[in-house]
Amino acid sequence: MISYFESLHIGNLIDSLPGAVAQGIIWGIMALGVYITFRLLDVADLSVDGTFTTGGAVTVMMRLAHYPIWACLIVAVLAGLIAGTVTGVLHTKLGIPAILAGILTQLALYSINLKIMDMSANQSFAFNEDGLWISLGNVPMAILVSAIFALAIIVLLYWYFGTEQGSALRATGSNHSMSSAQGININTMKIIGLAISNGIVALSGGLMTQYQGFADINMGRGAIVTGLAAVIIGEVIGMAILGKRMNFWGKLFFIVIGGILYYVVVAVVLWLKLDSNYLKLFTAVIVALFLAVPYLKKKSKSSFKRAKKKGAKLDAENK
């Protein structure tokens, strides 16, 4: 036991934090994509597990073919947009439940991602090569560049969801019958939302591949849960700090903060020398807890148990 604590050096943790922040921002961008479907459209879209990898696969292969990094990222986003559109069409035009539509796309993408990566489970380039915007080799730079990306996406999303079309998309997520009655084509809106969401997720996958210098066929596994973790942590922290002043800017900003916090916690867990194979279990438990707490809180305020207790007390007093 003592030797365990002696083996933990706070310096190691501090050294690992900048990397955690960089990864956190990249996952925060991914979470912005998840937020669009999960919160604004009210659809749980599982295709993101596949599109995150697609973004990475496209980036690594184009990089190996010596394309400039901006071209890699643009194609990654396009691939994500297409994948999201496929999920949207499966859901709206073919009547497949949203969750299943996402799973189908995700499954199909596994094969497609392998094909993109030349039928190899992973592909890499030197992470310190020239022309990269983000890289493990220069973590402060990586933090700066990914923060600029995050900020740009927040500004774009804020603008888009304030436009006529973006408002119609939010209305679709809020109330289907009202949207149809106001002349909004809810199927089109869902497809657009899923496409944008997956485009952002693929961008994030591309950035992550650049950062770590490789793409792996499993890099997107559980991405939806990590994204949800960032969204939920961000919402809780944001509400705690801003309270009623929380507006749309705040929501988007704190989602990225949520991504960073998630990776800081991961860094601490790893520093404690917990087996990293348990990370997914850890994430699932955290997300389940955060999703359950608001529900349980509400329930505890009005439960049959409580009603029974109160009733019994009143009866006793009246005797």
Partner 1 sequence: MLKINSIEKTFNPGTINEKKALDGVSLHLKPGDFVTIIGGNGAGKSTLMNAITGVWPVDNGSITLDGINVTGLPEYKRAKYIGRVFQDPMMGTAPDMQIIENLALAYRRGKTRTLKWGITKREKVLFHEQLKILGLGLEDRMTSKVGLLSGGQRQALTLLMASLQKPKLLLLDEHTAALDPTTAAKVLEISEEIIDKDNLTAMMITHNMHDAIAHGNRLIMMNNGQIIYDVEGEEKKKLTKEDLMKKFAEIAGSEAESDKMLLS
Q: Element (H or E) spanning 124, and its range?
A: strand 122-124
Q: Which of 180, 214, 270, 279 binds partner 1 (CB under 8 A)?
A: 180
What whole-number distance in Å separates Cα of residue 172 and Cα of residue 43?
A: 11
Closer by beta carbon to partner 1, 184 or else 266: 184
Interior CA angle at 229 toward 228 and 231, to 5°?
Answer: 60
What whole-number distance in Å separates Cα of residue 252 and Cα of residue 171?
A: 18
Beta bridge partner(s), residue 122: 216
What whole-number distance in Å separates Cα of residue 160 and Cα of residue 157?
A: 5
Tokens 């994430």 label which residue? 283
**Minimum distance from residue 127 beta carbon to partner 1 (Å):** 38
Beta bridge partner(s), residue 166: none
Q: Which of 121, 178, 296, 312 binds partner 1 (CB under 8 A)?
A: 178
Span interacting with partner 1, options 170-178, 250-258, 265-273, 293-301, rule CB under 8 A: 170-178
**Minimum distance from residue 231 beta carbon to partner 1 (Å):** 15
Q: Which of 34, 43, 184, 200 binds partner 1 (CB under 8 A)?
A: 184
**Minimum distance from residue 40 beta carbon to partner 1 (Å):** 9
Residues 248/249/252/258 CA torsion (nearest 10 deg): -110
Q: Which of 182, 276, 300, 303 binds partner 1 (CB under 8 A)?
A: 182
Span interacting with partner 1, options 9-17, 78-86, 104-112, 169-177, rule CB under 8 A: 169-177
Closer by beta carbon to partner 1, 23 or else 179: 179
**Minimum distance from residue 198 beta carbon to partner 1 (Å):** 20
Closer by beta carbon to partner 1, 175 or else 276: 175
Task: Please report whether residue 177 would count as binding partner 1 according to CB under 8 A.
Answer: yes
Count of chain residues binding partner 1 (CB under 8 A):
23
What whole-number distance in Å separates Cα of residue 72 and Cα of residue 69?
A: 5
Tokens 């049959």 label which residue? 304
Task: Please report whether residue 181 would count as binding partner 1 according to CB under 8 A.
Answer: yes
Residues 148-167 that bind partner 1 (CB under 8 A): 160, 162-167
Question: Which of 235, 186, 193, 271 lies closest to 15, judged by CA?
Answer: 271
**Minimum distance from residue 170 beta carbon to partner 1 (Å):** 6
Residues 28/31/36/41 CA torsion (nearest 10 deg): -150
- Strand 122-124 with 214-216, pairing: antiparallel
Closer by beta carbon to partner 1, 109 or else 184: 184
What whole-number distance in Å separates Cα of residue 231 and Cα of residue 211?
A: 22
C-beta of residue 24 within 8 angstroms of C-beta of residue 143? no
Span interacting with partner 1, options 173-181, 204-212, 250-258, 277-285, rule CB under 8 A: 173-181
Task: Please report whether residue 174 would count as binding partner 1 according to CB under 8 A.
Answer: yes
Closer by beta carbon to partner 1, 44 or else 144: 44
Closer by beta carbon to partner 1, 184 or else 225: 184
What whole-number distance in Å separates Cα of residue 315 and Cα of residue 319?
A: 6
What whole-number distance in Å separates Cα of residue 75 and Cα of residue 81?
A: 10
**Minimum distance from residue 31 beta carbon to partner 1 (Å):** 19
A 10 A CB-CB count for 301 gives 8
Token representation of residue 70: 């901006």
Residues that bind partner 1 (CB under 8 A): 160, 162-168, 170-171, 173-175, 177-186
